[in-house]
Structure 1
């Protein structure tokens, strides 16, 4: 065994220093070929690794898969699937006959280029083109991409060191060294981070489904408001036609002395008031069309034909069954549960932050020995190394664990908040729906028939000169206002039922949650 000597000390006269310097330069020149080969090899290896690292990976456009995991535990278990709202075609209903004056007013209010679209077509357009949905879909897909690398090891590091001039150990010299190192995190913490990323991805997907429900609910509410506005304009147009006929009758009666000129002026004033109402209706129609187009993800100025009718069927639901269905199907509940599960895994990640990380390394030391007589002089060396982190700051890791614990408690409180909010919303909406249904039935069976009979009786009495003209005008106006109230109540009922479906998180059928029949005694 030959014992290596330490570095040569620079002692002696100036002449000896110059001689040693010349010898060193001569050695460098003699080893130039080997050093050049080392440099070239390292450069080629580094370029290949850089090329592999910079190569563009194929882009995978992730498609959202259904939520298939629940948060009953922290294991990979199937989740409750957030049921998306399915388009429902409105039932067919016979539209009432329109007079020529009503059709003319409708043509003036709604452009001829308006596209006759159904509610189902608008919903399909919204699900395909709404920018908010497209953004949240990409965010959910990005969260799933994070799951793919959350449990992967960090990249290894490759380093090299060159000594210019070489480190001189007589007769050997160290020219360069090459090191490859890999850091190994605590594997339990790596697995916990992967589980947290998995539940966060499920929560992001459930948020996407919740946004779909909100978009569909807003679209249906705007569609039903559009129906009410359309009926208001139709009613105003019918009132214009009726008032025009009454004015002609009043003019004939004034000519014969059976009526006063003030009756004609009062009818003309009512006609001007109707024109003012139509101006306001047109502005509301334009705003509603813009809202429908925004939700459908297209230009706000695209015309849309108004709905001729809406479904007036009242479902046979039960409040308790609605609550149960909401807890099972509402994506917001799933989001809260999944975030609570992710926060619980966050506590595990924080607890394992105290565990050390290990780094393993292997190195190659390039040596040479120009002019050495020994055969094993200048032999390269192989090094092996391991290092570890030292989590010495106790207060730091206690703070990390406390932060994660409080975030977990906050996530569980958010779940309770969502459940209580859904309970209150369902109770309020169901009460509103029942009140709207009772109002619709009252107008349909009692108020409107009585008002129609009163007006027809007044018209007959006017022909017999037994009632005044102003009474006929007032009764006609009252009849039309009652018709408007009926359509508003019908639209409010439809809007409330749409909000109930949105809150439950499923497109319920009218008979899907009917209470079971009681057993006969």
Structure 2
């Protein structure tokens, strides 16, 4: 068993060159412990044991017989007979059988390789999903803390406005009118930047003609401030619910990951702090060539085609005669005739046997079967290459899309932060545009989550390409 385990690890041929040491360790654990992968490996070992079986000569045949009453001959009394015969297939038959079994074993090995890379992709995919989940939880908690700060700020402004409602009526009226004008212009803003700039510009020149709602000090101060508090509390409740859902999602995802490693579902999973951008250094056509030549399923079909070629050659040789060589031994005992002892010498007779395969239909059918199976494998390989090409093209499209989205959401996140800073400065000064602050804050949260998703999608797509090419691409 120790020797088999060593062979198993050598055949895995895992090259861990990714960025995270913890992910490398998980891939190694999965390769050693996953029961499905071990089942494929044992099937490969079983196929290897077929080679010595078909490559051996037929067992020798030994015939023995004894007479209950000695057979009387002139040369003496025959007590029995011993015959030993060894049959030999036609020249090259055994090597053809071994070649066919070896190619079939190689096909089983490629099935094992395909299962291994599929397992690695599942482990990576689930690990990246866990990373995205943890980042979403972190970003959600950060934004929840920011909203709670907004709530405190809105409460302070509400209390300040309530205590100073008797003074500054004109100023509060202008503020109310500015808030109304800004919310209208923000509907057509891009990424929150235009609304932030409009808010800052409008705040410098307050119109003197206010609405009827702005003429009351209590409405402009207390009512408006309290509505800001209620708005932010609505956002807080929504974000708390989102955070709780994300927390609940962690358990099944972690259980799925641990099951791939064949360990306890409650085992803790180490996740990287951050994912760096990953690029493929291969040219696209070279990557396609590597996929269509090195994909385990293509190599499996190549091995099967070679196996059927050997099977076709073997069927032809099976139609040739088999030769046999042996010896016949007959023991004699002396017999007495007229008082004279006669004979008694044992006899040894070399023998040759030859089979005559005159019924040709079965041998012709064997060759035809091998040819048809070989044709079927060729067609299946062509279809597999077409499917791999489609998956290669789709994966590259997804990778380009992930790269574009990553660049876009980085820029959108920066712009949203700048807009939010401008709006917060305006709100801290005169209490305007709080609704716009919340809207841009929600935009910022959305951009941050989409950025994490795009980065994870990038790594998952590269993992898919590595699964197709059966090699590391970085």
Partner of 1:176: 80
1:420-499 alignment, distance < 5 Å: 420-444=386-410, 446-499=411-464
Distance in 1 between residues matched to 2:94 and 2:466, nearest whole Å: 41
Partner of 1:364: 329
Confirm or deny: 8 A CA contact 1:89 1:118 kept in the other structure. no
Q: CA deviation at 1:195?
A: 1.6
Partner of 1:341: 306
1:21-72: CA deviation from partner (whole Å, max 9, x where unpaired): xxxxxxxxxxxxxxxxxxxxxxxxxxxxxxxxxxxxx9974965999xxxxx
| 2:164 maps to 1:235 | no
| 2:127 maps to 1:226 | no
Relative to 1, partners in 2 of residues 1:60 and 1:241: Cα closer, same or farther, differing over 3 Å? closer
Distance in 2 between residues matched to 1:130 and 1:198, nearest whole Å: 26
Q: CA deviation at 1:342?
A: 1.2
Distance in 2 between residues matched to 1:191 and 1:300, nearest whole Å: 50
Confirm or deny: 8 A CA contact 2:40 2:112 kept in the other structure. yes
Partner of 1:132: 36
Confirm or deny: 8 A CA contact 2:65 2:82 kept in the other structure. yes
Matched residue SS, 2:19: coil
Partner of 2:65: 161
Relative to 1, partners in 2 of residues 1:328 and 1:395: Cα closer, same or farther, differing over 3 Å? closer
Matched residue SS, 1:182: strand
Confirm or deny: 8 A CA contact 1:84 1:212 kept in the other structure. no
Relative to 1, partners in 2 of residues 1:305 and 1:170: Cα closer, same or farther, differing over 3 Å? same
Structure 2, unmatched stretches of 5+, are 163-221
Q: CA deviation at 1:354?
A: 1.4
2:295 maps to which of 305, 319, 330: 330
| TM-score, reference length from structure 1 | 0.71
1:307 maps to which of 261, 272, 285: 272
1:28-427 alignment, distance < 5 Å: 61=4, 64=7, 84-90=13-19, 118-167=22-71, 173-255=77-159, 256=162, 257=222, 259=224, 261-368=226-333, 372=337, 373-427=339-393
Matched residue SS, 1:387: strand
Distance in 2 between residues matched to 1:241 and 1:62, nearest whole Å: 52
Residues 300-309 or 376-385, more deviating: 376-385
Partner of 1:500: 465
1:239-270: CA deviation from partner (whole Å, max 9, x where unpaired): 22122222223333444326354544443333
Q: CA deviation at 1:185?
A: 1.5
Confirm or deny: 8 A CA contact 2:111 2:300 kept in the other structure. yes
Q: CA deviation at 1:276?
A: 2.7
Confirm or deny: 8 A CA contact 2:9 2:32 kept in the other structure. no
Confirm or deny: 8 A CA contact 1:291 1:300 kept in the other structure. yes
Structure with greater contact order relative to length (CA < 8 Å, sep ≥ 6): 2
